[in-house]
Amino acid sequence: MTQGGLALLHWLALRPVGAAHIEQVEPEEAEPEHVWTAEALHQRYLADVYASVARRVPNRQEAEDITAEVFVAAFTALPRQKPLHHPYPWLLGIARRKITDYHRRQSRKEGRTSALADDFPSPASDLPEAIFERDERLRLVRAMLTRLPANQREALLLHYVEGLSQAEVALVLGRSPAAINSLLQRVRAAVYKQGQDYSLGESEAKK
Amino acid sequence: MTTEQETNLREGLQAAYPAAEPSEALRVRVTGLAREMKSVNSATQSHPWRIGLRLAGIAATTLVVLAFLLPPKLTAVQAFERMTASLKDVRSAHYISWNIRPDGTRVKGEEVWYQAGNWRVEVINPDWHQIEVCRDGTRWTYVAQRESVTQDKAAFPAGYDSISGFSISALQHDAVASGNQTHITLLGNTIEGGRPVHTILFYSQWMFDKQEPTWRSRITVDDATNLPIRLETQKRKPVETRWITTETREEDFNQPVSAAVFVPDFPKTAWLIDAVAERDYWRRRLDKGVAASNTVVVRDLQVNANGVVFLLFTANDEVGRDIPFGNVKSVDLTDEFGTRYTDPSVQNNGIGSQNFVPTCMNITAGGEKVAGYLFGEKQLEGRRWVPVEKQTSWKPRQFRLTFHLQNLKSGQADTAVFDLPLQSAEADTVPKYMPYMGRSLSSDAGAEGDEEMDVRAYYLYHIAHDLPAALRAYRELLTYRAGAQNKLGLTYGWSSVQWLEVTHILIELGRIEEAKTALTQAKHDDDSARCSPATHEQIRTEMKKLGMDP
């Protein structure tokens, strides 16, 4: 097993999942509803939305174009939008459709299917060994996510990386909160399994 | 999974997908968009009349955009504000648009009447005669060529209430998204027909153009009412100083419109189509389907008189998942005669071709809704194939459809094959279900024919690489379009992409002088009706390569 494989298992620190664990769907935040202006919306959410788009679109210029499109659509809809206490899921929903459109255009142009961005710079670190191990681990994590079905991958990113509650993930993906709860359980199990498969695959290869 | 494991999972994923920082350029861009939107929203309080009026759409939108892209003179902004304020209060409107031929003669384009929520829109040209009447929530659409009247539930004429139509925000979005910058000039007062008027000029051009603007609108506004009385579209060739009016629209507001104008009085012989009942008929027919496997239901298969094949199916996909992002990766079509077919949506120029999406999310006022049919909450999907060789007379035949599937959940690959016979061409242009699809194809025979020619030419050049045949096909299309332009009295074309294709073919054939002529034509069309910045750049690049001055 390579260092990366070991690191992945170490990072996952997972053991087989036992009896089904039903998570409670988080209640929506009890913030007051708020009428957002275009200025306030982009000042608060531009960085978050761009980061989300950039995770899914490898080319920086294209990620910026899509982000701008998201805000154009949001600004256009804003006057007719009912007051929102937390517009982030709404913006990510728009972003999701824009990204789908982008991948569709790309696949038509180049005959290739969508992929998650895989050219993230690594965070700075002092020790070369630490850099190697961490980079290998991050590469494996990204490869693992790429292998997941699109809806599982999206749910995982929205919940764990973009910090949305299950109810908000449901809103973005157009599913019921219960379905998202079940989906996330499945994806956690899949992550565990894939973590094992990576390790097994590599150790088998060593034999 | 324990809390610790879940924390590890979260931290690991966040490390693998760190947050990229937006550039300063993006921040500036989005801040600018926010400013423009603020101005649009404040200038366009919801008003039913103004939502759809093309004058308000084209003139006011451009003015709003320019007002914030480049700070205009204060007087011009005041003129704009006065005009938009006056438009808010109009009780009725009537305008007629004319296309102006190079010899100065004019051809009527469109005539519109509005009064107290009622509309009438007439389009009368040599190829198309259509009248729409909207009253009390019902819309009647009469098409003379089809001798039909379609009755539907709608408060606005088609295209007057959609995000991609003529709403101010849509046009504002389009103007900014297409990278246009504009500026405004206010001319002094003059007398016209005995009444004092002032004139607003606004110019629009792609923001990276260094040449002088080649397009402008000239609005003549009545001093007394602050309402426009005429809007002229003017063009000029680069470097030239003379502006030529290509379109003019005469406008008249607050004059009583006879109630008879809004009476849906059409020839008694016209075939009445009840759109509500038709929509329901197609729902029932498609629900039944024509063939099914355990993964795919073929809902409908038709050909038109030119042998173009239209397929509708469901494959257990949610809305928004279409080929190649749903369960179906691709669909192949063959027939017993070995006919070669090409699918425009998978050609590189599919982006520019008519977009056939049977079910889609439709962004409308107040949120989103699904447009088109759903069966068991799963979307209807569609494909269209154009025969590469023109079909002169269509014969009954057996089709084979091969669906290549990959289950999104399990990842399992599968194929589904259907052998389906068709005895006759059911549609003249596009199937009769088309008006009820999410994003439909035009049933105008001209548009469908134009599309087929374009698809065929593209195939011959880029896929078959048959240069002489491709050249013939593009020339056939361009000749057809030139005829249509002439009939409509248009002084410009919209074929810069096709002229560029012809240029490339002629270069490959070594016919450089002819290529230069074609490229000049591409530039002419691009100057008049720019399709895309990318095409514009390609034309400039090719001109430099051929030693021409771009």
CA angle A20, A26, A29 (to 5 degrees): 175
> Is pLDDT at B276 greater than 60 in this prediction?
yes
Q: Which of B77-81, B208-212, B432-436 has the highest mean pLDDT?
A: B432-436
The answer to whether the beta carbons of residues B284 and B374 sit under 8 Å apart is no
CA angle A18, A22, A26 (to 5 degrees): 145
**CATH superfamily name and code, B76-261:** Lipoprotein localisation LolA/LolB/LppX (2.50.20.10)
Whole-number Cα distances in Å, A69 to A64, A172, B43: 9, 17, 22
How far is B440 from B207, CA to CA, in rounded Å?
32
- Whether chain A has a CB inside 8 Å of the CB on B24: the answer is no
- For A52, which residue in chain B has the nearest alpha carbon? B19
| Mean pLDDT on B392-410 | 88
> Is pLDDT at B235 greater than 70 in this prediction?
yes
Q: Which of A109, A114, A141 sits opposite B348 (nearest CB)?
A: A109
The answer to whether the beta carbons of residues B330 and B404 sit under 8 Å apart is yes
Per residue in B436-454, is it b (16+ CB within 10 Å) or e — as a string? bbbbbbebbbbebebbbbb
Q: Percentage of chain A with pLDDT > 70?
A: 57
| B 413-442: CB under 8 A from A | none
- For A17, which residue in chain B has the nearest alpha carbon? B1
How does DSSP classify residue A91?
A: H
- Whether chain A has a CB inside 8 Å of the CB on B263: the answer is no
DSSP helix/strand/coil, B143: strand
Residue B327 φ/ψ region, left for φ over 0, alpha for ψ in the -120 to 50 degree band, beta for the rest? alpha
Query: To the nearest whole angstrom, how far is the Cα of A141 from the nearest Cα of chain B?
Result: 7
pLDDT at residue B239, rounded to an integer: 61
Cβ contact, residue pair A11, B12, below 8 Å: yes
Structure-block tokens of residue B481: 């379009």
Cβ contact, residue pair B9, A17, below 8 Å: no
- Whether chain B has a CB inside 8 Å of the CB on A187: the answer is no
pLDDT, averaged across chain A: 67
| B 312-351: CB under 8 A from A | 318-320, 322, 324-325, 345-348, 350-351
pLDDT at residue B513, rounded to an integer: 93
Counting beta carbons within 10 angstroms of the beta carbon of residue B477, is it exposed (0 to 12), middle (13 to 18) or buried (19 or more)? buried
How far is B492 from B361, CA to CA, in rounded Å?
35
Q: Which of A71, A107, A149 sits opposite B30 (nearest CB)?
A: A71
pLDDT at residue B244, rounded to an integer: 82
Mutate one of A50, A72, A161, A173 to test the B interface: name it (highest B CB count within 10 A). A72
Cβ contact, residue pair B318, A174, below 8 Å: yes
| Mean pLDDT on B361-389 | 78
Query: To the nearest whole angstrom, how far is the Cα of B81 from the nearest Cα of chain A?
Result: 20
Structure-block tokens of residue B97: 């648009």
pLDDT at residue B529, rounded to an integer: 57
Q: B325 contacts in A (CB within 8 Å)?
A: 100, 103-104, 113-114, 150
Centroid of chain to Cα A115? 12
Centroid of chain to Cα B372? 18
Cβ contact, residue pair A47, B23, below 8 Å: no
Q: A66 contacts in B (CB within 8 Å)?
A: none
Whole-number Cα distances in Å, B179 to B33, B91, B208, B479: 12, 35, 8, 31
Residue in the structure block whose two tokens are 């097994």:
A200
pLDDT at residue B71, rounded to an integer: 41
Q: Could you give the residue ranges of the DSSP H alpha helices within B348-440?
A: none
Q: How many helices (H) and strands (E) does chain A have?
A: 8, 0
Counting beta carbons within 10 angstroms of the beta carbon of residue A37, is it exposed (0 to 12), middle (13 to 18) or buried (19 or more)? middle
CA-nearest of A51, A86, A92 to A70 is A92
Structure-block tokens of residue A119: 């050219």
Q: B361 contacts in A (CB within 8 Å)?
A: 97
Query: To the nearest whole angstrom, how far is the Cα of A32 from the nearest Cα of chain B?
Result: 20
Q: Which of A51, A108, A150 sits opposite B348 (nearest CB)?
A: A108
- For B366, which residue in chain A has the nearest alpha carbon? A80
Instruction: Please give the full DSSP string across A23-73, using - where no structure is assigned.
Output: PPPPPPP-PPPB---HHHHHHHHHHHHHHHHHHH---HHHHHHHHHHHHHH
In total, chain B counts a number of residues equal to 550
pLDDT at residue B177, rounded to an integer: 45
Q: Which of B20, B46, B365 sits opposite A51 (nearest CB)?
A: B20
Residue in the structure block whose two tokens are 């599937």:
B405
| Mean pLDDT on B171-177 | 43
CB within 8 Å of B260: residues ≥ 6 apart = none
Residue in the structure block whose two tokens are 């990366």:
A4
pLDDT at residue B277, rounded to an integer: 93
Q: A78 contacts in B (CB within 8 Å)?
A: 37, 41
Helix axes A128-147, A177-206, angle to 10 degrees: 120
First to last CA, chain A: 10
The answer to whether the beta carbons of residues B137 and B152 sit under 8 Å apart is no
Q: What sign results for the dihedral spanned by CA atoms B343, B345, B349, B353?
A: positive
Cβ contact, residue pair B9, A114, below 8 Å: no
How far is B159 from A191, CA to CA, in rounded Å?
48
Amino acid at site B179 = G
Q: Which of B33, B361, B408 sits opposite A97 (nearest CB)?
A: B361
- Where do the structural domains in chain B lie, given as residue ranges? 18-69, 76-261, 277-441, 466-545
How far is B146 from B462, CA to CA, in rounded Å?
36
pLDDT at residue A174, rounded to an integer: 78
Q: Which of B19, B25, B33 sits opposite A71 (nearest CB)?
A: B33
Structure-block tokens of residue A163: 């910090």
CA atoms lying within 13 Å on the CB side of residue B502:
26
Query: To the nearest whole angstrom, how far is the Cα of A203 from the nearest Cα of chain B?
Result: 22
- For B9, which residue in chain A has the nearest alpha carbon? A12
Cβ contact, residue pair A72, B33, below 8 Å: yes
The answer to whether the beta carbons of residues B386 and B301 sit under 8 Å apart is no
Helix or strand (DSSP H, E) at B362: strand B360-364
Cβ contact, residue pair B16, A138, below 8 Å: yes
How far is A173 from A108, CA to CA, in rounded Å?
24
Query: To the nearest whole angstrom, how far is the Cα of A11 from the nearest Cα of chain B?
Result: 6
Mutate one of A43, A134, A160 to test the B interface: name it (highest B CB count within 10 A). A160
Which value does ipTM take for this structure?
A: 0.73
Cβ contact, residue pair A46, B30, below 8 Å: yes
Cβ contact, residue pair A51, B26, below 8 Å: no
Helix or strand (DSSP H, E) at B190: strand B180-192
Size of interface A-B (CB pairs under 8 A): 159
Query: To the nearest whole angstrom, how far is the Cα of A70 from the nearest Cα of chain B?
Result: 10
> Is pLDDT at B543 greater than 80 in this prediction?
yes
CA atoms lying within 13 Å on the CB side of residue B409:
5
Q: What is the pLDDT of residues B59-108, one digit of tens each?
A: 444 444 444 444 444 466 667 667 766 766 678 888 898 888 777 788 88
DSSP helix/strand/coil, B488: helix
Cβ contact, residue pair B26, A137, below 8 Å: no
- Whether chain B has a CB inside 8 Å of the CB on A65: the answer is no
Q: Who wins on pLDDT, B531 or B439?
A: B439
State the maximum Cα–Cα separation within chain B, in Å, rounded to a whole number: 85
Q: Which of A84-88, A119-123, A178-182, B324-328 has the highest mean pLDDT?
A: A178-182
Q: B346 contacts in A (CB within 8 Å)?
A: 108
The number of beta carbons lying within 10 Å of the beta carbon of residue B9 is 24
pLDDT at residue B90, rounded to an integer: 76
Q: Which of B23, B34, B361 sits opposite A39 (nearest CB)?
A: B34
Q: What is the pLDDT of residues A129-173, one digit of tens each?
A: 555 556 667 777 777 777 778 888 888 899 888 888 888 888 888
pLDDT at residue B76, rounded to an integer: 66
The number of beta carbons lying within 10 Å of the beta carbon of residue A41 is 23
Question: At the top level of CATH, which class does the domain B277-441 belong to?
Answer: mainly beta
> Is pLDDT at B274 greater than 80 in this prediction?
yes
The number of beta carbons lying within 10 Å of the beta carbon of residue B544 is 11
| B 143-172: CB under 8 A from A | 163, 169-170
Helix or strand (DSSP H, E) at B19: none
Question: Which range (A116-125, B11-20, B286-295) has the least confidence?
Answer: A116-125
pLDDT at residue B165, rounded to an integer: 32
Q: Are strands B148-153 and B271-274 parallel, antiparallel or unpaired?
A: parallel
Q: Which of A68, A141, A191 sits opposite B33 (nearest CB)?
A: A68
State the maximum Cα–Cα separation within chain A, in Å, rounded to a whole number: 64
Cβ contact, residue pair B27, A73, below 8 Å: no
- For B368, which residue in chain A has the nearest alpha carbon? A77
pLDDT at residue A42, rounded to an integer: 85
pLDDT at residue B421, rounded to an integer: 96
Q: A138 contacts in B (CB within 8 Å)?
A: 15-16
- Whether chain A has a CB inside 8 Å of the CB on B133: the answer is no
How far is B153 from B542, CA to CA, in rounded Å?
50
Instruction: Please give the full DSSP string across B394-416, using - where no structure is assigned.
Output: ---EEEEEEEEEE-TTT--EEEE
First to last CA, chain B: 64
pLDDT at residue B135, rounded to an integer: 92
pLDDT at residue B478, rounded to an integer: 92
How far is A167 from A158, CA to CA, in rounded Å?
11
Q: Which of A41, A67, A121 sits opposite B22 (nearest CB)?
A: A67
| B 44-73: CB under 8 A from A | 46
Peptide bond connecting B324 to the previous residue in cis, omega within 30 degrees of 0: yes
pLDDT at residue B400, rounded to an integer: 97
Q: Percentage of chain B with pLDDT > 90?
A: 26
> Is pLDDT at A23 greater than 90 in this prediction?
no
Centroid of chain to Cα A159? 7
The answer to whether the beta carbons of residues B286 and B299 sit under 8 Å apart is yes
pLDDT, averaged across chain B: 78
CA-nearest of A119, A74, A84 to B37 is A74
Q: Model confidence at A121, in pLDDT bands (50, 70, 90)? A: very low
Centroid of chain to Cα B395? 33
